[in-house]
A and B are shown apart, each in its own frame.
Chain A
Amino acid sequence: MGRSYDVVVIGGGIIGLSIAYQLVKRQKKVIVIEKNEIGSGASGACDDMILLQSKKPGISLEMAMESLDMYKTLSDELGIDIEYENHGGMILIENQRHLNVMEEYIEQQRKYGLTVEIIDKKAVYRKQPHVRQGVLASTYSPTDAQVNPLRVMRGYLSRGTALGLEVRKGVHISEINQKSSGWMVSFKDGTYIESEYIVNAAGAWAAEIGRMVDIQIPIRPKKGQVVITEQIPKLGDTNVWSAEYIVAKLKPELANEKNEVFKHLGVGFALSQASCGNYIIGSTREEAGFDKKTNPEALQLIVKQAVQFFPILSKVHFIRSFAGFRPATEDGKAILGGVENRDGFFIAAGHEGDGIALAPITGKLMADCIEGKQINYNMEELKLERFRQEEVECAFA
């Protein structure tokens, strides 16, 4: 006999752990299955930002706002300091064309209740004394915040385990089968487990899990390379991004000003300081399959861009690089919810670069979905079925 659970969560990243934690809090019997290590996909190879300004106006932004509120009390709830900090964020605008795009963009965000404004050059240099000359303007939102994703995962795990959560690491699924009631997950080592529900929170690998139950999930890996500096005092009041980063994220087709290599690697500028003092400099957005290596060409572009924005960084050492796979969908929104004709099979993946920001709310919503509770978001927008299956076939061809 295999062991039996209420819910099997596939994927031990921040999304899977958040869902599992919410479920054990509601007295469900839950196991997390992780083929590698906790946080070995995107969640342990990312930056630390809860950047509301980068969220698409609409359901993603609304969810991020609620998620941010959940983060504010999470340290107390989990009994671990998740290093939540709120310093606000700025998106540096270098030219008139970006200013036009950003003005329109923040207007949209304000409609959803985000506090954000455009500040002029003088205010920019007051908040960021080390930024290069010639920046035209910036957005500023006092709401942008950050957490340490590694601490968040450790907290979900230790608090979850205390509430009865089980975790199996280093196991590979061979088959997933639908039974007359519930599901059976078999492993390559010959063991199996049974459950009423399955949550596919496998991030960039969600499509692979989908294929085991004959559904096409249009999520593909976008590789993000990131650079870490030594620990230094803070350079400015807030974390910063370039408008180009936002443009690359939201409207990749408009990111046509830099050279081909920049475009190919999807380089955008993001700079944030972890609470221990290291600066995290991002990042690329590459279509590179599952190749997790960092490479000097990309790192050099990231570093060069950072030094150009903040010349003082030329004196600072970088000590580390890493890459993670952002699970990307065609429309930039995650896939959350049940799947038609697959009773009890849920998907919670495809958060791309928003996984850290959206982890708490995703956990709560998925637990609500599984319990059949009323949800205040229009979950239709996040359903798998918004992608027509024939289009999915094309995307995979």
Chain B
Amino acid sequence: MNDEILCRCEEITEGQIREAIRQGATTVNEIKRWTRSGMGLCQGRTCRRLMERILSEEMGIPLKEITPATFRQPVRPIRMGIFSEIEDRDE
């Protein structure tokens, strides 16, 4: 199994992603749910593109037909004290 790390936040390898596809994952969202690739701190900034490419390879379908994983708020991690507009009393 190829143990090169694709998702650096969650330390998921290329091999684990290919294995998930061979076990029936057919979308980027499913790979994500099954492996945690793309679920870390950066929310797939690097690995989502790589997952798309591997999926396209494994399934033999063109990259442009691969639906990207769902994008959700927040765009980048935000401190909850700031987001909630509650002052941090410790500071």
Contact in complex: B81, A321 (CB < 8 Å): no
Contact in complex: A37, B29 (CB < 8 Å): yes
Q: Contacts of A303 on B, CB cut-off 8 Å?
A: 80, 83-84
Among residues 10 to 56 in chain B, which have CB atoms less than 8 Å away from a CB atom of chain A?
A: 10, 23-27, 29-30, 33-34, 36, 39-41, 43
How many A residues are at the interface, by size bracket? 35 or more
Q: A300-B84, A318-B83 are in contact. Are A40 and B72 (CB under 8 A)?
A: no
Q: A314-B80, A314-B86, A317-B77 are in contact. Are A39 and B33 (CB under 8 A)?
A: yes
Q: How far is the CA of A170 from the CA of B78 in the complex (A)?
A: 35
Rounded to whole Å, the gap between the CB of B89 and the closest CB of chain A is: 7
Contact in complex: B33, A230 (CB < 8 Å): no
- A251 CB-CB contact with B under 8 Å: no
**Per-position binary interface string of chain A over residues 335-360, scored 1 when its CB falls under 8 Å from any chain B CB and 0 otherwise:** 00000000000000000000000000
Contact in complex: B30, A315 (CB < 8 Å): no
**Per-position binary interface string of chain A over residues 6-26, scored 1 when its CB falls under 8 Å from any chain B CB and 0 otherwise:** 000000000000000000000
Contact in complex: B80, A306 (CB < 8 Å): yes
- B85 CB-CB contact with A under 8 Å: yes
Q: Contacts of B34 on A, CB cut-off 8 Å?
A: 150, 154
Residue of A nearest to B88 (CB): A314
Q: Contacts of B79 on A, CB cut-off 8 Å?
A: 314-317
- B73 CB-CB contact with A under 8 Å: yes
Q: Contacts of A57 on B, CB cut-off 8 Å?
A: none
- A294 CB-CB contact with B under 8 Å: yes
Q: How far is the CA of A158 from the CA of B23 in the complex (A)?
A: 7
Contact in complex: A321, B72 (CB < 8 Å): yes
Q: How far is the CA of A230 from the CA of B27 in the complex (A)?
A: 25
Q: Contacts of A316 on B, CB cut-off 8 Å?
A: 79-80
- B60 CB-CB contact with A under 8 Å: no
Residue of A nearest to B79 (CB): A317
Residue of A nearest to B42 (CB): A319
Binding site for B on A (CB under 8 A): 37-40, 44, 150, 153-154, 157-158, 161, 167, 169-170, 229-231, 276, 294, 296, 299-300, 303-304, 306-308, 311, 313-322
Can you list 28 pairs linking A and B with CB atoms under 8 Å apart? A37-B27, A37-B30, A39-B30, A40-B29, A44-B29, A150-B34, A153-B33, A158-B24, A229-B80, A294-B72, A294-B73, A299-B83, A304-B84, A306-B84, A313-B81, A314-B84, A314-B86, A315-B79, A315-B80, A315-B81, A315-B88, A317-B78, A318-B74, A318-B78, A318-B80, A319-B43, A320-B72, A321-B74
- List of 8 A-B pairs having minimum Cβ-Cβ separation, nearest first: A314-B81, A317-B77, A304-B84, A150-B33, A303-B84, A319-B77, A314-B88, A154-B34
